A and B are shown apart, each in its own frame.
Chain A
Amino acid sequence: MMHSNLKISTILTAVLTMGAMAVFFISFLLAETEISLLITVALGIGFFIFAKNQSYFENMIIFSNQRPVFFHGLIIIIISLILSICKHEHFALFMIASVTLYATACFGLTLQLGYAGLTNFAGAAFLGIGGYTVAILANNNVPIILSVLFGGITASLIGSLLILPILRTRGHYAALVTIAFSLLFKTFLELNEFLGGPQGIKIPPMNLFGWSFSEPVLGGSFYISYVILSLIVMGVVLGITRLVEKSWLGLHFDSVRIDEVASSCFGINIAFWKITAFTIGNFFIGISGGIYANMLGHIAPTNFTFGDSLILISIVILGGIGNPIGVLPAAFLILVLPEKLQFIQEYRLLLFSILVILVLIYRPDGLLNRPLRKFYKEWGPPFIGK
């Protein structure tokens, strides 16, 4: 009976919106001159305002809820088209893979900050733990799939040590502990000879069941392999994050974040749930760090600075704390925009910051704020807020 509600116009506008977003995405990524970039952005903003007025985005959500197979199939088709269009573009593909991996890491942060309320300013450190674990294991001929998994596990384990001082503090103080860890981590890397010191460490190219990641794919760039792999990993991690939200786990995380006293009066073990969120989140960050390091081919302490941790946190805040979908446009904006603004040179960071501030003034809850938590989509309309 729900399906009969879906009008043709809803489907058409939803598909149109997705197509337009893809066109914007690719033209933005490939724009080389200032003029073409400007036109792309102007058209993009124009379409965004138009689509918002016509509630095309709502249609897209309705479409995705009611025809999930069709919707996800369409996404895969769009991604394949994008990849085939820029299969020779090393830089564009590298950016897509980076955005995807950063987004994957940010799903981990969403679990920590958005669900359980743990501020983790050491995101880049956990990326680094994943990366360095992979570097050491890959140099010792451990199969890549295992070393990436170990990257996640190591990040989780070190995280569960770090959580112990965090549990003894609250609010801003917990955040301070992670800041200290982030700074310590970089210093530790720089001083550690075994990990290559400030020069860093080389990582042999990935080889997954005979699929060599250093070879060109279909006559295109070798980055395509990394893009595909990171998209798959991101899809899986996004799926897990959403399953977590729509389960008793998500309920416990939310309850711990909102009110610790009330939660513990109803049998919720605050420490246990914080550790759980921190561990799962760091696992996600660790595996994305592992793949990221592999794609870079060479990692050094400067890849995992406190500044990078801030980038990760700002993606989560800009996207809308607690909404993993919001992470996607935010990661794109925060990672790609500064690259595209290089023609204004030193002003680019200024302009970039102004843009982020503007977004947060007009959308204080981030690009996509988190909808009301519900277990099943038939429980109500998808846009209902808090």
Chain B
Amino acid sequence: MENKLLDVTNLTVEFGGLTALSGLDFQLREGELLGLIGPNGSGKTTCFNAITGIYKPSKGSVVLLTKDITGLNSQKIYKSGITRTFQRLRLAVGLSVFDNLVIGDTVDLNTSVLFNLLKRKALRKQVDYQLNKVKNILKIFNPDLVNAIYEPISKLTMIDRRRVEVCRALISRPRVLLLDEPSAGMTSEETREFMDDLLEIKKKTPSLGIILIEHEMSVIQRVTDRCVVLNYGKKIAEGTYKAISCSRDVRVAYLGED
């Protein structure tokens, strides 16, 4: 059996009287692509926000390998190896593709003021090193993007921006990658292309665990190993796509049958 990577136990997020996420339990294994699905407002993004420290969970725990990361701030969670993308793109518009990708790799940058102002040659080496890294990761998703690294983000198409956002999350070699509806705003053809690249990444980095929020069931069926289904902040099913699509609860809540 594969190693357990992320262990979420009884994760609960409350906003005042509203319980957005209630007692969620699930595990993510190394090399696994886990689908997180559920109707709008079922708590998928809240779950990501709670894992990445944007929201403080009211109860429960999140353990990465052996490290308890519950309630840590976002920076510490990033440093322990969890990165994410956002449902509504959160790239730094106004900066270049290169800058946006390097923001994903801040753990690898020397940010001392004196280093940056005085050791310009060493800085140049770091920039060139990052340049190489950025080019290599962009090549996986779209070789054309390599020629656009000095261009502003605003010149890219939607799918390329999504790709840049995923590259930004991958460049620091995280253990867990959280993808919040990356196919939003893409055509089905673009989504297919994107998911192919994602499967490629999964094959190349067997220790990486990915959680994917996705609405399109055919995509979930094609790429995920297992799924967790949420409704009203509670887990209503877990298992392979085949298993959950047979579950009556899931059909009622999500697929609109009764």
> Contact partner of B96 among A244, A263, A373, CB < 8 A?
A373
- CB distance A380 to B92 under 8 Å? no
- The reply to whether B152 and A386 form a contact with Cβ atoms under 8 Å apart is yes
- Check if A384 is an interface residue, CB within 8 A of chain B: yes
Do A258 and B84 touch (CB < 8 A)? no
B127 at interface (Cβ–Cβ under 8 A)?
yes
With a CB–CB cut-off of 8 A, which chain A residues contact B116?
Answer: 243-244, 247-249
A contact residues, range? 20 to 34
- Are B106 and A266 touching (Cβ within 8 A)? yes
Tally A-B pairs: CB < 8 A. 104
Give chain B nearest CB distance to A374 CB in angstroms.
6
Contacting residues, chain B, for A248 (C-beta < 8 A): 102, 109-111, 116, 123, 126
CA distance A385 to B94 in the complex (A): 8
Binds A, one of B7-15, B70-78, B215-223: B70-78
Counting CB contacts under 8 A, is B186 at the interface?
no
**CB distance A243 to B111 under 8 Å?**
no
Chain A residues with CB under 8 A of B246: none
| B76 closest partner in A (C-beta) | A267
Q: Are B74 and A374 in contact (CB under 8 A)?
A: no
A81 located at the interface, meaning its Cβ lies under 8 Å from any Cβ of chain B in the complex: no
Task: List residues of chain A with CB within 8 A of the CB of B106.
Answer: 252, 266-268
Question: Contact mask A45-86 → B, CB, 8 Å, 1/0?
Answer: 000000000000000000000000000000000000000000
Closest chain-A Cβ to B82's Cβ sits at a distance in Å of: 9
Min Cβ gap A322→B in Å is 9
- Of chain A, the residue at the smallest CB distance from B109 is A248
CB contacts (< 8 Å) of A266 on chain B: these are 78, 83, 103-104, 106, 168, 172
Q: Which of A240, A375, A380 contacts B127 (CB 8 A)?
A: A375
B113 on the A face (CB < 8 A) = yes
Distance of A259 Cα from B100 Cα, bound (Å): 11
Please state if B75 and A255 are interface contacts (CB–CB under 8 Å): no
Query: Contacts A265-B83, A268-B103, A386-B152 known; A372 to B96 CB distance under 8 Å?
Result: yes
Q: Is B214 an interface residue (CB 8 A)?
A: no
CA–CA, A380 and B44, complex, Å: 41
A139 close to chain B: CB less than 8 A: no
Q: Hey, what's the 0/1 contact readout for A33-52 against B, CB within 8 Å counting as 1?
A: 00000000000000000000
Nearest to B79 among chain A residues (CB) is A267
A261 within 8 A of B: yes
Q: Does A209 sit within 8 A of B, measured CB to CB?
A: no
**Given A266-B78, A267-B106; A373-B95 close (CB under 8 Å):** yes
The verdict on A252 contacting B92 (CB below 8 Å), with A243-B116, A385-B152 known, is no
Chain A neighbourhood of B102, CB < 8 A: 248, 251
Residues of A242-289 whose CB lies within 8 A of B: 243-244, 247-249, 251-252, 254-255, 258-259, 261-269, 276, 280
B138 vs chain A, min Cβ distance (A): 16
Minimum C-beta distance from B35 to chain A (A): 21
* Shortest Cβ distance from residue A245 to the other chain B in the assembled complex, whole angstroms: 10
Give CA–CA (A266, B53) in the complex, Å: 11
Chain A, residue nearest B90 (CB): A262
Chain B residues whose C-beta falls within 8 Å of the C-beta of A265 in the assembled complex: 52-54, 74, 78, 83-84
Give A259 to B94 CA distance when docked, in angstroms: 11
Query: Which residues of chain A from 210 to 258 have any CB-CB distance to chain B below 8 Å in the complex?
Result: 240, 243-244, 247-249, 251-252, 254-255, 258
A144 CA to B93 CA, complexed, in Å: 45
- Cβ–Cβ contact A252 & B111, under 8 A: yes
A244 to B54, CA, bound (A): 29
Contact A264 B95 (CB under 8 A): no
Besides the known contacts A267-B79, A386-B94, 8 further A-B residue pairs in the complex with CB atoms under 8 A apart = A243-B117, A249-B116, A251-B99, A266-B104, A372-B150, A373-B95, A380-B150, A386-B95
* 12 intermolecular pairs with C-beta atoms under 8 Å apart: A254-B94, A258-B92, A261-B54, A264-B54, A265-B52, A266-B106, A267-B79, A268-B75, A374-B150, A375-B127, A376-B127, A386-B95
